[in-house]
Every structure is written in structure tokens, then in C-alpha cells.
Amino acid sequence: MRIVDLRSDTITQPTPSMRRAMADAEVGDDVFGEDPTVNRLEEMAAERLGKEAALFVASGTMANMVSLMSHCGRGDEIILGDRAHTFLYEQGGSAAIGGIHPWTVPNQPDGKLALNDIEYAIRADNDHFPRTRLIVLENTHNRCNGSPLDAGYMQAVGKIARNHGLKVHVDGARIFNAATALGVEARDLVSEADSVTFCLSKALAAPVGSVVCGAKDYIAKARRARKVLGGGMRQAGILAAAGIVALTEMVDRLKDDHDNAHRLAEVLTGINGLSVDPECAKTNIVYINIENSDLTSQVLTERLNTEGVRLLPTGPRQMRAVTNYHVTSDDIEYALGVFSKALML
Ligand SMILES: Cc1ncc(COP(=O)(O)O)c(C=O)c1O
């Protein structure tokens, strides 16, 4: 059966050139700093993000955890969006493991935090309050239609942080999608950020891994945090080799995913019983709402799945489609046909 897997960009399989690079990778003990392939990936990542140094870690969740622990101590507070991945989907690890208190402010539909809301959430110096240390942004914003946050906004948040002696962390799991959509370099989006993480294993199709980027002394702290989380890997160059291919070969093709997502959204919005805002489909993520109250996302995704089209239910009447490396424009047309049939049942 033809399969069009739109559940996530994390389902991507390593490309043939990634597999070759992994097989041939020169490796060493990375806890001793002796893995040349990891070192090369970290140098490349730092350079692309315009930071001094970088650290290869196992996942996006670990990248965020390490980043927060390196900025904050126990009892410190972070300001982040109420739809942020770090808040919703990382087990509250910042509090559970780091002792870090979250203050959530509403994410706007485009993934931004209103500047007034950020200012309001910054604590005064008072014995009753935790100390605000960090503002966390997500770019692109997964739960907010994969929206890219523009450089002007990112700089405006950086300015607030500087004025109040705070730091900025960017969960840039899909920062290269943001840069592609906005027509800028990824480093232009994070010039004011003290740390930025990005995932190799999502839209860039590497099998494993994320990278934390920041100043040299910050990355030294992050390295310690990674170790205590159990993330000090040894011959990790096998994985980093695929990451290098991800950075060199997979960024330029992201526009195809965005075009496919836009096409999907544009046609689905015209289908009776569904609502999608094609204006919101700016990167590779599309959220689809079911207007027909007799139909649930569980039932509709099961119907689609019987014809090989896979989506993720994200609410009782909401589903998510994420275009990715394995999905062609022809697959999108096929998926659209399957949607029409599934809604007629
Ligand atoms: C915005 C964002 N941040 C972080 C993560 C966590 O990444 P991982 O699944 O590699 O832990 C995800 C995963 O989907 C994500 O979408």
C-alpha cells in the first residue's frame, strides 16, 4: 500500500549519504573531547548559528533541559509560552530535574509572546519572589502552526532581556525551517539569543541528535549538565556524521516541504467539514480542524490510515500534518484525494 506519513518530521529515515557517512565516520571518545566527527559537527553548528561553540546532545528535550540548567539555578524562574514544547511536552523537566519555576504567558496565534506580557512577568527584586533569569522562545513554533518568528521580534525580546539583566534561550528545533520561510540566515534569527538549540533529527532527517549553541563558557556549563543527565556519549561520531550531512545537504530542500504544506492547507480549507488557515501554513506544519461535530480526529485519522495516509490526532477535533523529506508533491495530491473520500463516508 502507498504510505504518506505526515505524522511528524521525526519519522524521517537517514538518507543514503547519511548512511555512508555514518559507516565511514572517524570516531573517538567524545567524553574526552576526542571524537573528531562530533567536534566537526559542533564547529559547523556554532558557525551556522553565529555562536562561539556548540554541544551535540541526544535529543531536543535534552538540548532544552541542558540549556535551562546552564542558565538557571534551583528556584530561578523562566518566562515561556503556554504552548511551548518545553512547557507542554517535556514532562516539566525544568521543574522536576532543574528546580526551575515556569511562568507561562499566552502564546499569540503566531507563536510570539506579547512584549507587554513578557515585561509584566519579569519579577521585582523581592524576598517573596523567585528570581527571573531567562526568557524562552520557540522558533518555529510547533503548536502555533509551525509559525516562524521574525528577526525583528527576536531582537525586540533580546532588548527586553538586556534591559532587565535576563538571558534568552531559543528552542530552535526547526530554526532552519524558520530561516527558510523568512528568507534569512538562521544566525540572523538568534543574534540576540544567549543560547539556541536545533534538531538534526526532525526536518533535516538525521536519525538522532540535537545541538546546543552559545558562548564558550556557556557551552562548558552545558557540557557538565549533559553529563549529569547521562548524555555524555562516547563514539558519538557515528551519529554526528549524519548530522553533518543534515547540515550540508538537507537545509536547502526545506522549501519543498513548505510548498507541500501550503498546498495541503490550501486545498483542505476548501473541503466541506474542515477548516485550515492556509495563511498559517508558512513552514512544514499544518493543523487541521474538523468542523463536523459528529466526526472525531480519532475516527478520521483511522479512515485516512486505511488508505496509507497518516496524520496525528492532536485534539478531539484537531489533527496535525507535517510535511517531510519522504513526502513528494505527488504524495500530497494522493493524500488530498484520500481526505475527500474519507469525509464522504
Ligand atoms: C519545538 C520542539 N522542541 C523540542 C522538541 C523535542 O525534541 P525531541 O523529540 O528530540 O526530544 C520537539 C519535538 O517535537 C519540538 O517540536
Strand, helix or coil for residue 179: helix
pLDDT of residue 271: 87
Question: What letter would DSSP give residue 127?
Answer: T
Q: Whose CA is nearest to atom 4 of ligand 1?
A: 60
CA distance 323 to 8: 7
CA distance 307 to 344: 14
pLDDT of residue 97: 97
Q: Whose CA is nearest to atom 13 of ligand 1?
A: 60
Q: Please, which residues have CB within 8 angstroms of residue 298's CB and are 6 or more apart in sequence? A: 313, 316
CB 171 within 8 Å of CB 138: yes
Q: Whose CA is nearest to atom 16 of ligand 1?
A: 142
pLDDT of residue 191: 98
**Does the pTM exceed 0.95?**
yes
Q: What is the pLDDT along the chain (345 residues), one digit of tens a residue?
A: 999 999 999 999 999 999 999 999 999 999 999 999 999 999 999 999 999 999 999 999 999 999 999 999 999 999 999 999 999 999 999 999 999 999 999 999 999 999 999 999 999 999 999 999 999 999 999 999 999 999 999 999 999 999 999 999 999 999 999 999 999 999 999 999 999 999 999 999 999 999 999 999 999 999 999 999 999 999 999 999 999 999 999 999 999 999 999 999 999 998 888 999 877 899 999 999 999 778 999 999 999 999 999 999 999 999 999 999 999 999 999 999 999 999 886
CA of 344 to the centre of ligand 1 (A): 35
Strand, helix or coil for residue 206: coil
Q: Report how far apart, in Å, the C-alpha atoms of 345 and of each of 251, 253, 264, 341 are.
A: 40, 36, 20, 7
Q: Is the dihedral of CA 295, 298, 301, 306 positive or negative?
A: negative
Question: What letter would DSSP give residue 111?
Answer: S
Strand, helix or coil for residue 87: helix
Strand, helix or coil for residue 54: strand
Region of 59 please: left (phi>0), alpha (psi -120 to 50) or beta.
beta
CB 176 within 8 Å of CB 185: no
Q: Among 244, 284, 266, which residue's Cα sits nearest to residue 37?
A: 244
CA distance 127 to 311: 49
Ligand 1 neighbour 9 (Cβ under 6 A) = no
The pick from 7, 142, 177, 201 for probing ligand 1's pocket by mutation, whose C-beta has the most ligand atoms within 8 angstroms, reads 142
pLDDT of residue 292: 77
Ligand 1 neighbour 85 (Cβ under 6 A) = yes
Rg (CA), the chain: 20
Strands 53-57 and 210-214: antiparallel
Q: Is 259 exposed, middle or buried (0-12, 13-18, 19+ CB in 10 A)?
A: middle
Q: Please, which residues have CB within 8 angstroms of residue 280's CB and are 6 or more apart in sequence? A: 109, 145, 147, 265, 286, 287
